[in-house]
Structure 1
Amino acid sequence: MTIDEIAALLRQGLTNTAIAQQLPVSRQQVAQARRDLRIPDVPRQKSTLEEKWGARTQRVEGGHIMWTGERSASGSMVFWHCSKSYTAHRVAFLIKHGRWPVGVARTSCAYRGCVAPDHTDDEVGRRRTYEQLRYIAGYSAPPATCVHGHDQGEHGAFTAEGHSFCRRCQVAHNRKAKERRRRSS
């Protein structure tokens, strides 16, 4: 490591951090060399949301894109941009469709960790897919309301096999079951 190596990289327009990652030196040493050589700091370029997402992904076989970025404590693929948190799937959906997803954005393929925009769907897209599966499997159209009168256009959902159920009733059922377990323990 010499001052000449640092100077050459500084003159190429690299940042202090980029040089410190390439050479066995600290950012502070690069900053000192920059001051000594009177080379101005590189102006920070704000990356777009898509660029920041792309910097945290890696293409793999089969058209899949793996997430290499951060994960939340719950395992969600997340990153920050302009002081706001985003999930990788929401941004992938935005890249593909030019709009934010309705509900939760998820990968429609079975490749673990994939965030490929072509493989990402929102609630509306998944509902459409499950309805098509129902018709292909010979099921009738889902009911307009559940047995408790909930509008299935708003609360209806489908299992992976194409069976319809009421999400609102499912939430109520799960809440009651949790309460029963809590009381019995």
Structure 2
Amino acid sequence: MTKPGPHPQEAQILALIDKGLNNTAIAELLYCGPRAVRKVRLDHNRPPAPRSAWRHAHPKERQIRQLLADDHTDAEISRRTGADVSTIADRRRMLGLGRAPMPKAKARPHPREAEILAALKAGGPDSSNTAIARKLGVDKHAVGRIRRAHDLPNTYERQRAEQPSVEDRWRAHTRQVDGGHLEWTGPRASGSGTPILRVLGSWYSAAGIAFRIRTGRDPKGHVRAECDVRHCVAPACVEDEPGRQGLRLQLRRLQGLPDPPTGTCPNGHDLAVDGRLDAKLSHYCEGCKRAKKRARSTT
């Protein structure tokens, strides 16, 4: 029995083996049997190809990998590169990127968008989403989407923008008196008579507003007038807790009195935190004062 000769495509098979293709891929390219490719590989002592190198790299392999890393859909990558969707899916699995993102559906314009937009831009008291939806017979949520898409303020935002500022409201409730002081003519808290101001459902301290006008920052602690006029709201007369304690410490030093004690009080409160000076420049512990107030409320 004669020994069979070499395969007619042996040279081509060897060239593809050297490129790293496996037997199945070579058989598909040369239209021969995988067993014939395997025999040529064994006859010439060629090692088996790695499983990850069983096909040629795509001409746009780098672009495909970059688009996959940017989280594009397989259909979008196929449209940009011309690669088959199955090829892109194989690269996605090989890179461990998980499932392809779902394409986002494009929002269709509302059939009456022009009318809704005209009503929104017209403004007026009946320009709320509910009023426009009732007038045109559309869904109020659709009106809201069109409003957001065109950055048009809603009724509350427009009314809020048209409202006077807190500072302007504060000025409308003040009256100049002798000595540069300001008297509060607006509402007051019941019992204490503290000047207060209500703006868009929120309550503000009139002295706190005066403090922000003078300093440009929010106060710390209670804000009170340090002048002789009770409940004065002049910006130059009000101080918050740190400013008030600083002024009283300076007055105490000007009178030749020693600085307040440091350390802890007899009840263990830190005087650096709870130490205070009253209007008579006498030192006291705020922590002890709070404790006594709590004890009275529980009895």
For the residue of structure 2 that corresponds to 1:117, the secondary structure is coil
- Quick check: which has more Rg, 1 or 2? 2
| Partner of residue 128, structure 1 | 246
User: Post-superposition shift, 1:162?
Assistant: 1.3
Matches within 5 A, 1:22-171: 45-74=162-191, 75-144=193-262, 145-171=264-290
Describe the shift of the 1:177–1:80 C-alpha distance in structure 2 as closer, same or farther (beyond 3 A): closer
User: Post-superposition shift, 1:156?
Assistant: 1.1
1:36-66: CA deviation from partner (whole Å, max 9, x where unpaired): xxxxxxx963111110100111111210111
For the residue of structure 1 that corresponds to 2:236, the secondary structure is helix
Amino acid at match of 1:49: V
Structure 1 runs of 4+ aligned residues shifted over 6 Å read none
**C-alpha contact 2:175 2:182 (8 A) present in aligned 1:** yes
Amino acid at match of 1:154: V
| Partner of residue 8, structure 1 | none
**C-alpha contact 2:194 2:231 (8 A) present in aligned 1:** no
| Partner of residue 93, structure 2 | none
1:71-110: CA deviation from partner (whole Å, max 9, x where unpaired): 1223221111232110100101110111111100001111
For the residue of structure 2 that corresponds to 1:80, the secondary structure is strand
User: Post-superposition shift, 1:177?
Assistant: 5.1
More strand by share: 1
Amino acid at match of 1:88: A
Gaps of 5+ in 1: 1-42
For the residue of structure 2 that corresponds to 1:147, the secondary structure is coil
For the residue of structure 1 that corresponds to 2:273, the secondary structure is helix
Measure, in 2, the Cα distance between the counterparts of 1:139 and 1:178: 35
Which structure has more relative contact order (CA 8 Å, sep 6+)? It is 1
Gaps of 5+ in 2: 1-157
For the residue of structure 1 that corresponds to 2:289, the secondary structure is helix
Measure, in 1, the Cα distance between the counterparts of 2:203 and 2:195: 10
Length, aligned pairs only: 138
For the residue of structure 1 that corresponds to 2:163, the secondary structure is coil
| Partner of residue 53, structure 2 | none
Q: CA RMSD in A?
A: 1.9
